[in-house]
Amino acid sequence: MDTIGEFRVLANDRQARVGELVTAHGNLTTPIFMPVGTRATVKAMLPEELKTMGAQIVLGNTYHLHLRPGEEIIHELGGLHRFMNWDGPILTDSGGFQVFSLSQLRKLTEEGVEFRSHIDGSKCFISPEKSIAIQVALGSDIVMAFDECLPYPATREATLESMDLTLRWLHRSKAAMMNPDQLLFGIVQGGLDIDLRLKSLEQITSVDLPGYALGGLSVGEPIELMHQLVAQVAPQMPPEKPRYLMGVGTPLDLVLCIDSGIDMFDCVLPTRVARNGTLFTWDGRVSIKRKEYQRDPSPLDSTCQCYTCQNYSKAYLRHLFMAGEILSSRLNTIHNLHFYFELIRCCQSAIREGRWDQFRHNFVTRFVKNRVSS
C-alpha cells in the first residue's frame, strides 16, 4: 500500500528522471508542471478541462487566499478541494514571495512579517506558524515552509542573514504542522552565489522533509545565470526526494532544468501570456496580434490536438484578441496549457525510453533558433 509522502524514481536518463510522489489526493508522475491557480482558480479554465488536458495538480496561494476570501471561509465550506471543485492534489505556496513582492510597506522581524494588504491597505501579519495554520485550514496536499525571498541583486551579508532566518523559520514551520497527510517542503535560498546556495541546501536538508524546493529564482536575474545555478545545485539535492523549482518557467527552462534533475515546476507564464496574445508552439512563440494573421485560415499549430487548434483559425484567434473578447483568453489559455502538458509528456517518454539527450538537443536547438529568429 502506498504511503503518503513516498517518492519513487521510476526511470533515469543521466540527471533527468521520471518519478512518482504519493499524496493524499492521488499519485503524481514527475517531471510535472503545476498550473497556477493563485486565487483558487486557474484563470479562464474549468477544473474538468485541466484534468482532460493532463493536469495532475494545481497550485494555490496562501497570501491571496488569506486576504480573500479568508481561510476560515474556505475551511468552513469543506476545504480548498471542495471550494474550487478540484479533487486532485493541491500545492499551496507559503505566501512568502507575495509578502515580499506585493507589499510595499512591510516590517520584518524574527517573529514574522507585518505588512499592508495590497487590496485595501489593512494591516496583516504572517509568521511561519500563521502560514502553516492557513495552509492546514485550506487542506492542501503539499505545504510550503515560510521563507524570506530576497530581491535581485542582494548583498552577500543580506543573503547569509536571510538564509539563517529561513532555516529558523523552517524549524518553526515543521513544528506547526498538524496534519500528517499534508507534506511539508522546505525552500533552499542563497541567491545566485553557488557557495551560498549549497550552504543553504545543506541547512534546509538537515531538516528531514518529504521534499525540497529551490526558491528565490526568476526574480529578475539573467536567465542564463539561473540555468547555470540550477545545473550545479539540483544534482546535489537529495536524490530520494522530489526536487521543486519554484516559479519557473518557459518551455526552454523546463527542458534545461529537467536535464539537471528537477522534478516539479509551476509558473503563471503560459496562462498570463495567453491573455496577452502570446502562444507557444513547437516552432516557437506566436504573437497572435500580428497583422499577418488577419486572413490566415490555418490553425495555430497543425500538429496540435488541443480544442483551440482543432476548431479555430489564426484569423479568428487574432480577431478575438483585437476585439477584446473573453473567448480570446479562454482559447489561448487552453492551447498554452495543452502545449505545456504535451511537452511534459514528451519529456517523460524520452526519459523512460532512454532517448533524453536526443530529445533535449532537438528541442533546445529548435526553440533557441525560433526564439532568435522571431
**Hey, which residues are catalytic here?**
93, 266
- How much is the CA Rg of the chain, to the nearest whole Å? 20
- Ranges assigned E (strand) in the chain: 7-13, 16-23, 26-30, 32-35, 58-61, 90-93, 106-108, 113-116, 123-126, 142-144, 183-188, 211-214, 243-245, 264-267, 278-281, 284-287
Rounded to 5°, the CA angle 83-87-89 comes to: 105
Task: Report how far apart, in Å, the C-alpha atoms of 263 and of each of 127, 276, 287, 355 are.
Answer: 28, 28, 30, 18
Q: What CA–CA distance (Å, rounded) separates 152 from 221? A: 6
What order do you get walking across the sheet with 16-23 strand by strand? 7-13, 16-23, 26-30
Distance CA 70, CA 62 (A): 9
d(CA 8, CA 19): 5
